[in-house]
Structure 1
Amino acid sequence: MSDDFARNLKFACSYYKSIAEVCRKVNLNRAQFNRYLSGKHKPSANAMMRLCDFFGVEEFEFLLPHDQFQRLLQVKPKSHPSSAVHLPEVDHLTQLHAAGSQSLEKYLGYYFEYYHSMSSPGKIIRTLVCLERQQHGVYYQRTERFQEDSQSIVCHGRYVGSVFFLTDRIFMIDYETITGYEVTQTILFPTFRNKVSRLTGLKLGASGSGERMPCCARVVYEYLGTNVDKRRALSLCGLYDAETDEIEDSLKKALRNTIDDGEWHFRARH
């Protein structure tokens, strides 16, 4: 973990009354937090996700050079403490987590997600997804990194959400955390093999830019393992031509959004 991360974390904490307040709100042990501040230890994926959510930044932003991070944080909207009001949806989500998280252990880890981009028609997008258990449920983060063309700036998107295994399907729902403009739902077939390789299903959402058209697309999750080089994995994320040689033919075939004769609905493919 770079020295910049420790300096950036200290700077982010300076917006609050004390380190103790930050630890309490993020639910992290103070002694462990001090090790992050000293630069001696790297946060786990779970701890890093909570820090990013609390401070409203991306993981890659926490690793930026300190001067650049300072400028970025100074222009970001400040996060507000969550309200103590009990929201009705909390009870429903708690019930779903209790019913639908016990069968997800073998699915935890990192995936490449593939589908035909909703904002860049004709392109396949590859994103990085991490599923992990937090307390009594399973949650995930989906990170986009893409460039429309060689002249465009690199765009980033971060989605966070919940995963539920209900009867014989995996249900995922998330929202985009940077703009708050999008909610997506994904339904995947589980695998009945001991080892997870690929999961297929459907994704429903709306393009994040342009006409904001609601779309449904076939999706493939390619399992990478429980430990990956995240920087390397993110460097492979982006937009690809539909016929690119950098994506396997079998995977491209599984992503085709075709409807066969006699089908009345747009259906997922095993």
Structure 2
Amino acid sequence: MKKAEENPGALAVNLRLLCNRHGSVAAVCRKINVNRQQFNKYLSGTHMPSAANLRIIANYFGLSVPILLSDPEEFQTLIDGNFFHAMATVRQLPEFSRFVSNMIVENNSQDNDIAGVYDRYQFSSIYKGFILKSAFCIYKNKDFLQHYYVERFPSFDDPRKIEYVFKYYGFCFPVADRLFTADFEGIQSNELTFGVYAQVKRNSKKFMFGISSGIAANVLRQPYSTKVVLHYRGPGLLRREHLKALTVMDRNDPAIPREALQYLGDGSDMIQMA
């Protein structure tokens, strides 16, 4: 990610997108107490806000400064499904505050070691016997580790076309050398999933091996519990090239990491309830 002073254009695109989703520019300026004429310079990309104003703007939209300054394509992926509004609503719930009061992790090396983009592998509940490759991203937003991941399923009739897309958004909690996740599906908005993972390094590769469980609000998607492998690919947020690679794969596909296949087994221990 470029430094703030080098990337006013990205900020301008992201700010215009946020303002379009939060009402008029004038209303935003009034609420954050920033001069409209000055804010227009931010929107045009001709001027970069001061560090103090960047924090004010980011706080108003419920973001961190690095996310506000991220690549516009990455930023668009993040806010699809009104994600930040949903996360801001969840953070304000007193029940959530009590739940995480003893789980908030200060910014430390563990956060930096966990954050980034992962390939996510699990046996598919839609394509029986095939392995689903999705894209998973962990990032820091204020005091929270948050994550989102995207699944894409090809059509049964024409594998070149995408039939289903699911997007999940949630929070991560590092506890006792484990990573706990809780998220919701943001397109149909009818499924909650939970996971627990442990980090493993093998031959300089970084993996997380764990278990994920999910329950939907209708009978079309059965409750499930299955093994999941997260294979670390690098820092940052999801990009277009990550999303293009998402599909279901034959378990004999050599592109699947050997370590992932060893952990997943043959899928016979995947639990589904009719």
Shift of 1:238: 1.3
CA distance in 2, matches of 1:187, 1:14: 37
Residues 178-233 of structure 1: CA deviation (Å, up to 9, x unaligned): 1111111111112478x661111111114798642211111111001114771111
Alignment of 1:184-199 (within 5 A): 184-191=193-200, 197-199=206-208
Aligned equivalents of 2:230, 2:91: Cα separation in 1: 37
Counterpart CA distance in 2 for 1:250 and 1:205 is 24
Q: Which SS does the other structure have where 2:103 is aligned? A: helix
**2:120 matched to 1:95?**
no
Aligned residue runs from structure 1 range 78-93, under 5 A: 86-93=93-100
CA distance in 2, matches of 1:161, 1:148: 27
* Amino acid of the structure 2 residue aligned with 1:139: Q
Q: CA, structure 1 residues 248+12, in 2 after alignment: closer, same or farther (shift >3 Å)? A: closer
Q: How does 1:1-270 map to 2 (within 5 A)?
A: 10=16, 13-14=19-20, 16-19=22-25, 21-22=27-28, 37-38=43-44, 46-47=67-68, 56=81, 86-98=93-105, 103-149=110-156, 150=158, 152-191=161-200, 197-206=206-215, 211-227=220-236, 230-256=239-265, 257-258=267-268
Query: Are residues 106 and 23 of structure 1, via their aligned partners in 2, closer, same or farther at CA, if it must alter by over 3 Å?
Result: farther
Among all aligned residue pairs of Structure 1 and Structure 2, give the percentage whose two residues are the same amino acid. Answer: 24
- Cα 1:13–1:218 change in 2 (3 A) is same
Contact map agreement 1:119 1:207 (CA 8 A) in 2: no
User: Is contact 2:197-2:209 (8 Å) kept?
Assistant: yes
Give the whole-Å Cα distance in 2 for the aligned partners of 1:21 and 1:83.
Answer: 24
- CA offset at residue 258 of structure 1? 4.6
Alignment-mate amino acid for residue 38 of structure 1: S
Listed as ranges, the gaps of 5+ residues in structure 2 are 1-6, 48-63
User: Are residues 134 and 219 of structure 1, via their aligned partners in 2, closer, same or farther at CA, if it must alter by over 3 Å?
Assistant: same
Change (3 A) 1:8 1:93: closer
RMSD: 4.6
Q: Deviations over 1:110-152 (max 9, x none)?
A: 1111001122222211111111111112111112233133265
Gaps of 5+ in 1: 59-77, 260-264
CA contact (8 A) 1:118 1:207 kept: no
Amino acid at match of 1:112: D
- The amino acid that maps onto 1:183 is L
Distance 2:93 2:140 in 1: 23
> CA–CA distance in 2 between the matches of 1:202 and 1:13?
39
TM-score by length of 2: 0.66
After superposition, what is the alpha-carbon deviation per residue over 1:50-78, rounded to whole angstroms, capped at 9, x for unaligned? 876767358xxxxxxxxxxxxxxxxxxx9
- CA contact under 8 A between 1:119 and 1:210: conserved in structure 2? no
Report the secondary structure of 1:97's partner residue. coil
1:108/1:130 contact within 8 Å kept: yes
Contact 2:90 2:96 in 1 (8 A): no
TM score, norm. by length of structure 1:
0.66
Counterpart Cα distance in 2 of 1:228 and 1:54? 12
Equivalent AA in structure 2 for residue 56 of structure 1: G
